[in-house]
Structure formats: structure tokens, C-alpha cells
């Protein structure tokens, strides 16, 4: 099982003012991290994050910032 | 302590660079964000270093040393039988074929290993060579003095100084973004991969369900609009199989416009295949859910400018992909500069070409004259599958055989068959095999590498030719052709 070491601060930032609610992040995320709430994307399940960074790339409004999580936190792949 | 070099990111390229630089006597620091090296590495790769890096014996030696030290590498586990599955529009498996057994590719050793194990082993080699490793440390910024990068800043605010910083920090490169060399990857050229790991109760059960399949190719329409996708299945001791990249080379933008992600495509494809088996047999041993998911993207064309004074961007961070090669090239390039102590922007500007594999360096100036139509094509019977894939970068192939795009396409179509399908006879492997495999090699690899090396290969005469060829045959590829049903 891949592990998830809790991240002490959010490494995915969504600027809800910029967010246009296009839903690209919800579509592309393989870890089902995002949800739409009141036509804005929110991080609903951070522990599902696979740290691929696709959300930042697909955000046409430039509202998502993906940072590398704090040292030693985040996903740990155990099966290669 | 001031280091000669700081390498950010202990992946395959970062640790390779660390190995070579430490070996040459530079004080080298390798910084990694995860607790243990390899924690964030995923997927598996078939390595044939002797072929891919034929002219770089030092690198081949390093890779083979690292591979052979992987503790649970069980020769044959990852490198035995290979099966190809073809799936049609309705997701039915229409054709399955076995290919040559790896283990040796031509005269060279080939090994399938998990990238995680490989990277861990590689970092050990780098440490042995004298590089210092610092894990659990995320780099958040660089130290700037005027226009010169003098080192990095970690999240704890610690400043680590070095003469040169090598950013090998992956696709979402903090450093490349911080210094302004990377704004944002292009959604139209970034490709998406998704994978899962499944745990069966025993190796026997694993092999029963996955049938030693290592490569699966999904048919048309499943990964629109680039109509071909492929995936690798890597059985691993303990009944775990990792499955990767079923939607390889599908641009993110097409996923978004089709309103699906790689995972949904993956479920449509792989699960369907596995389901068939499960429905036809008692399903006790079939796991309910994958034990791991993994996701990534392949960045677009190489960064226009991968350097500034005191800093170079290496590997995925600068969109020069590949395992180990980019790191070795970076190390090779910076060695004389570090010896002279010259890390000025001007001195590092040579990295623009030095970062590319040699065979691609001359391609900035491609002309039609060079690849005239009248050049003879060359017999390719000696070509190994790895070489085909390797050369299907197109540019390297055309350079080697001095042929046109059409000739290359034709040759690859023919050459793919005896090696990949295991039989040169169209009667035996079927038209489907010919066309699909040839098309796969061409469309996937060339499209992808055209994406990757777009700035270099953007000869207006080349890309449309390939696209035209693919479009011309599109209808044919889409026709449903049913061959031997495997189950």
C-alpha cells in the first residue's frame, strides 16, 4: 500500500478568486483530490494526492499552485 | 561548507550526475525531498544500457552495477515472456501475441527493473563515489547574488552554497519556476501517465491473472486523439504487479476535452481485460482494488533556456527526459567548467546543446536536401526491438540511414514485425499486427518525441508528412479486425 505521510501545510494552493470553475483539475486528477463547491474547485481529499502536478498544468486560469511537499511528507510509493 | 555542486533531486538523472561529479573529485551534495531515496519514484523500465548508451561505457557500467545490486531483482521475473494485447473500439481483446523474450537484446544485457529500486541503488553508488546525500529536505528557493545563483535555500531557511547548482527536481521544478526559466508547461504537449499496483495472494495467482504479460497495447479510439496507447505490466516478487502508462503519450488537453483522466481510460481498458479473466474463473484470488495508484506527466518541449549563471536545469525539470542519460551529459558538460571555476552564463550556454543526446544535436539545421528521396533504404533485419524504439525518435533514424520520412516509416513498419511480433510472415501475424505495431511505433514514439524535441525538429517539411501518413491510414487502423481471441 502506498503510504501518505501527513503534510503539515497545504502544498496545493487554489486561488479561489482566479478559479473559473472549469473543472479541469477535477477531471484530470487521478487521485480524486479536487471537488467543486459553489462553482469553485476545492481540495477535498489531499491524502489522495499522487504529486503529479497535473492540476497546475491543466488550470487555464492559473489559479492552482503545486509545490513540492515539505521534506519527508506526502506520498511514499511502496510498489515501485 | 561550500560545495562545488549541489544537485537538487535524487532521481535517476540527479544521482547519475552526482556519481560522475563526485567520482571526478568535486564536493557534491545531493538533496532529496523524500524521507528515503526512491520514495517518490514509480513505474518500471526495461533497461538495455549497452544499446542505448553504446558509446558511453562509463554510464553503462554504472547502470549495470546499480541494476545488479537491486536486492530482489530476480532475473527473469521482469524480463521473461512478453505479451501484446490489442483492444478494439469496443474494448474487446481482439489479438494477443507473444514477442521475443528479453534477457538479452542483441549482444547486450537487458533488465526490467522498478525505477524505485533502480534509483535507490543508483544513489548508493553516488554516495560510494563520495557524494553527500541529504534526504527529507525540500528546496524552496535559490540563493541569488545579482544574476548569479550561488546555491539553494531549504524549507527550514537553511542556505546551502555551491559553485554550481544542478536542478534535477522533476517535472514540477521548483527551481526552474523560481528563477523564471519555466513558466508553465503547455497543456497541449504534456502527456499523461497513470498506473496502479495490484497485490495478489501469491506469485502463481498473479501470473494466472496477468499471464506474464509485460506490455499491453490498447487499440484505437481509447486514447483520443492520438489513437494509440501502451502500457507496461511488471510482475514483481511477492505477487505484486505494477501497471503503468496505459494512456501514454496522450496530451493532457485531449484528456481534459474528452472529460476524462488517465484513470478513467485505464479502468476502461485494463480492468476490462482483467475482468474477462476473472469472470471466466473463480475470482477469490483477484484483488478488489489496487494497492497503489501513481500518476505523472511527461513535460512538453525542452526548456528554451536551461541555464543561467551558476545553475543548469537537468532531466525532466528541463524536459529532457530519459533515465540517467541526461544526468551523465550534464556531469560531463560541467566537469571542465568546474575545473576552471567558470560557471558564468556564457560558459553554461553550451548546455543548450550538450543536454541533448548526441544524435539529436545536429538536428537544428535539418534540410530537405540532406534527406533526399533518392537515398537507398537499408536492410534492417539486424535491428533489435530496443533499437527500433530508440531510433523511432525519427531524427536519429533518418540520420543513421540517411533516408526520408516515408522511407523511415516503411522500414519501421517492416522491421517491427519480425522482431516484435516474432514472425516475419503476414499470414502468421496478420495484417493487424503489421499495421498496428508499425503504427504504434511510428505514431506513439515519433509524435511524442516530436513533441519533446519540437524546437529542434520543427522542420516544417517533417511533421506534416508524418501526420499526413497517419491520417491517410487512420480509417484502416480503426477498422475492426478480429483475430485469435486469447481467452
* Amino acid B195: pLDDT: 81
Quote the minimal CA–CA distance from A22 to chain B in Å.
10
- Say which of B117, B234, B252 has its CB closest to residue A28: B252
Interface test with B, best of A3, A30, A51, A67 (most B CBs within 10 A): A30
Section A32-50 average pLDDT: 92
- Answer with the residue of higher pLDDT: B457 or B252: B252
Cell output for B33: 525531498
Share of chain A above pLDDT 70, in %: 96
* Amino acid B224: pLDDT: 35
Q: Which residues of A touch B260 (CB under 8 A)?
A: 27
Cell output for B75: 532475473
Does any CB of chain B come closer than 8 Å to the CB of residue A35?
A: no
Query: CATH 3.30.70 in chain B, residues?
Result: 191-298
* Amino acid B258: pLDDT: 77
pLDDT class for A77, splitting at 50, 70, 90?
A: confident
Section B302-313 average pLDDT: 91
Q: Is the pLDDT of residue B415 over 60?
A: no
pLDDT class for B272, splitting at 50, 70, 90?
A: low
Does any CB of chain B come closer than 8 Å to the CB of residue A50?
A: yes
Instruction: Answer whether B187 sits within 8 Å of A52, measured CB to CB.
Output: no
* Amino acid B428: pLDDT: 34
Section B210-223 average pLDDT: 45
* C-alpha closest to that of B102 among B419, B359, B361, B447: B419
Domains and CATH numbers, chain A: 3-76 (3.30.70.20)
Does any CB of chain B come closer than 8 Å to the CB of residue A60?
A: yes
Instruction: Answer whether B252 sits within 8 Å of A54, measured CB to CB.
Output: yes
- Answer with the residue of higher pLDDT: B117 or B26: B26
pLDDT class for B201, splitting at 50, 70, 90?
A: confident
Contact A77, B116 (CB under 8 A): yes
* Amino acid B369: pLDDT: 41
Out of B56-60, B210-214, B305-309, B360-364, least confident range: B360-364
Section A43-65 average pLDDT: 92
The conformation of residue B274, written as its DSSP 8-state character, comes to: H
Instruction: Answer whether A70 sits within 8 Å of B40, measured CB to CB.
Output: no
Quote the minimal CA–CA distance from B264 to chain A in Å.
8
* Amino acid B465: pLDDT: 55
Per the prediction, chain B carries an average pLDDT of 68
Section B390-417 average pLDDT: 46
* Amino acid B285: pLDDT: 73
Distance CA B335, CA B292 (A): 40
Instruction: Answer whether A57 sits within 8 Å of B185, measured CB to CB.
Output: yes
Residue B3, SS3?
strand
Instruction: Answer whether A76 sits within 8 Å of B34, measured CB to CB.
Output: yes
Q: For B435-486, where are the E strands, in sequence order?
A: none
Please give the helix or strand (H or E) that residue B333 lies within, else none. Answer: helix B325-340
Distance CA B149, CA B162 (A): 9
Distance CA B392, CA B448 (A): 10
The architecture (CATH level 2) of B191-298 comes to: 2-Layer Sandwich (3.30)
Nearest chain A residue to B251 by CA distance is A58
Cell output for A12: 496545493
* Amino acid B401: pLDDT: 53
β-strand pairing of B159-167 with B3-8: parallel
β-bridge mates for residue B45, sequence order: B113
- Say which of B137, B192, B242 has its CB closest to residue A79: B242
Does any CB of chain B come closer than 8 Å to the CB of residue A36?
A: no
Quote the minimal CA–CA distance from B415 to chain A in Å.
32
Q: Is the pLDDT of residue B67 over 50?
A: yes
Q: Is the pLDDT of residue B458 over 50?
A: no
Q: Which residues of B touch A51 (CB under 8 A)?
A: 40
Q: Is the pLDDT of residue B314 over 90?
A: yes
Q: Is the pLDDT of residue B343 over 80?
A: yes
Contact B115, B45 (CB under 8 A): yes
Does any CB of chain B come closer than 8 Å to the CB of residue A72?
A: yes
Q: Is the pLDDT of residue B477 over 50?
A: no
- Answer with the residue of higher pLDDT: B319 or B429: B319
* Amino acid B203: pLDDT: 78
Q: Is the pLDDT of residue B348 over 90?
A: yes
Q: Is the pLDDT of residue B373 over 80?
A: no
Section B208-228 average pLDDT: 45
Query: CATH 3.50.50.60 in chain B, residues?
Result: 3-78+107-184+301-355
- Answer with the residue of higher pLDDT: B92 or B425: B92
β-strand pairing of A3-5 with A74-76: antiparallel
Q: Which residues of A touch B41 (CB under 8 A)?
A: 77, 80
Section B294-313 average pLDDT: 87
The architecture (CATH level 2) of B3-78+107-184+301-355 comes to: 3-Layer(bba) Sandwich (3.50)
Q: Which residues of A touch B263 (CB under 8 A)?
A: 30
β-strand pairing of B3-8 with A12-14: unpaired
Q: Is the pLDDT of residue B460 over 50?
A: no
Cell output for B65: 552495477
* Amino acid A44: pLDDT: 92
Chain segment B94-115, per-residue pLDDT in tens: 444 433 334 444 456 667 677 8
- The pTM score is 0.74
Instruction: Answer whether B292 sits within 8 Å of A24, measured CB to CB.
Output: no
Out of A59-68, B29-38, B458-467, least confident range: B458-467
Q: Is the pLDDT of residue B250 over 70?
A: no
Amino acid at each position: 500500500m502506498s503510504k501518505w505521510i501527513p503534510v503539515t501545510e497545504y502544498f496545493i494552493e487554489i486561488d479561489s478568486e482566479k478559479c473559473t470553475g472549469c473543472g479541469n483539475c477535477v477531471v484530470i486528477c487521478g487521485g480524486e483530490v479536487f471537488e467543486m463547491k459553489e462553482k469553485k474547485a476545492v481540495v477535498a481529499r489531499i491524502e489522495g494526492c499522487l504529486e503529479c502536478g497535473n492540476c497546475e498544468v491543466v488550470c487555464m486560469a492559473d489559479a492552482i499552485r503545486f509545490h513540492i511537499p515539505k521534506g519527508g511528507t506526502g506520498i511514499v510509493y511502496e510498489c515501485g | 561548507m561550500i560545495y562545488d555542486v549541489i544537485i537538487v533531486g535524487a532521481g535517476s538523472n540527479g544521482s547519475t550526475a552526482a556519481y560522475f561529479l563526485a567520482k571526478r573529485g568535486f564536493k557534491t551534495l545531493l538533496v532529496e525531498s523524500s524521507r528515503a531515496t526512491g520514495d517518490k519514484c514509480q513505474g518500471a523500465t526495461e533497461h538495455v544500457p549497452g544499446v542505448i548508451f553504446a558509446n558511453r561505457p562509463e554510464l553503462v557500467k554504472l547502470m549495470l552495477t546499480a541494476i545488479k545490486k537491486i536486492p530482489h531483482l530476480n532475473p527473469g521475473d521482469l524480463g521473461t515472456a512478453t505479451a501484446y494485447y490489442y483492444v478494439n473500439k469496443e474494448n474487446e481483446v481482439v489479438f494477443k501475441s507473444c514477442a521475443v523474450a528479453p534477457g538479452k537484446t542483441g549482444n547486450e544485457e537487458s533488465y526490467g527493473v522498478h525505477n524505485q529500486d533502480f534509483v535507490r541503488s543508483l544513489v548508493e553508488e553516488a554516495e560510494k563515489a563520495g557524494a553527500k546525500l541529504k534526504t527529507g529536505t525540500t528546496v524552496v528557493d535559490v540563493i541569488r547574488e545579482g544574476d548569479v545563483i550561488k546555491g539553494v535555500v531549504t524549507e527550514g531557511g537553511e542556505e546551502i552554497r555551491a559553485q554550481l547548482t544542478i536542478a534535477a527536481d522533476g517535472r514540477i521544478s521548483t527551481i526552474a519556476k523560481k528563477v523564471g526559466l519555466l513558466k508553465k508547461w503547455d497543456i497541449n504537449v504534456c502527456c499523461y501517465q497513470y498506473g496502479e499496483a495490484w497485490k495478489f495472494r501469491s506469485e502463481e495467482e498473479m501470473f494466472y491473472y496477468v499471464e506474464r504479460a509485460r506490455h499491453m497495447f490498447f487499440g484505437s479510439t481509447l486514447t483520443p486523439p492520438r489513437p494509440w496507447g501502451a502500457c507496461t505490466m511488471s510482475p514483481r516478487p511477492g505477487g505484486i504487479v505494477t501497471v503503468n502508462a496505459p494512456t501514454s503519450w496522450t496530451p493532457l488537453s485531449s484528456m481534459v476535452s474528452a472529460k476524462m483522466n488517465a484513470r478513467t481510460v485505464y479502468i476502461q481498458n485494463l480492468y476490462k481485460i482483467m475482468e474477462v479473466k476473472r469472470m471466466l474463473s473463480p475470482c477469490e484470488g483477484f484483488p478488489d482494488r489496487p494497492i497503489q495508484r501513481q500518476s505523472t506527466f511527461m513535460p512538453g518541449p525542452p526548456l528554451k533556456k536551461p541555464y543561467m549563471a551558476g545553475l543548469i536545469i537537468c532531466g525532466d525539470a528541463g524536459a529532457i527526459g530519459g533515465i540517467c542519460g541526461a544526468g551523465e551529459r550534464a556531469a560531463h558538460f560541467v566537469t571542465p567548467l568546474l575545473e576552471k571555476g567558470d560557471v558564468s552564463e556564457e560558459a553554461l550556454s553550451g548546455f543548450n546543446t550538450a543536454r541533448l543526446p548526441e544524435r539529436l544535436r545536429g538536428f537544428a539545421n535539418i534540410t530537405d536536401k540532406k534527406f533526399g528521396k533518392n537515398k537507398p533504404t537499408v536492410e534492417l533485419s539486424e535491428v533489435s526491438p530496443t533499437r527500433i524504439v530508440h531510433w523511432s525518435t525519427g531524427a536519429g533514424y533518418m540520420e543513421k540511414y540517411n533516408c526520408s520520412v516515408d522511407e523511415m516509416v516503411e522500414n519501421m513498419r517492416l522491421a517491427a514485425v519480425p522482431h516484435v511480433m516474432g514472425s516475419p510472415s503476414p499470414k502468421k501475424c496478420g495484417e493487424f499486427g503489421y499495421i498496428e505495431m508499425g503504427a504504434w511505433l511510428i505514431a506513439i514514439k515519433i509524435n511524442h518525441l516530436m513533441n519533446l524535441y519540437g524546437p529542434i525538429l520543427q522542420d516544417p517539411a517533417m511533421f506534416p508528412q508524418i501526420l499526413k501518413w497517419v491520417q491517410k491510414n487512420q480509417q484502416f487502423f480503426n477498422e475492426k479486425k478480429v483475430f485469435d481471441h486469447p481467452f
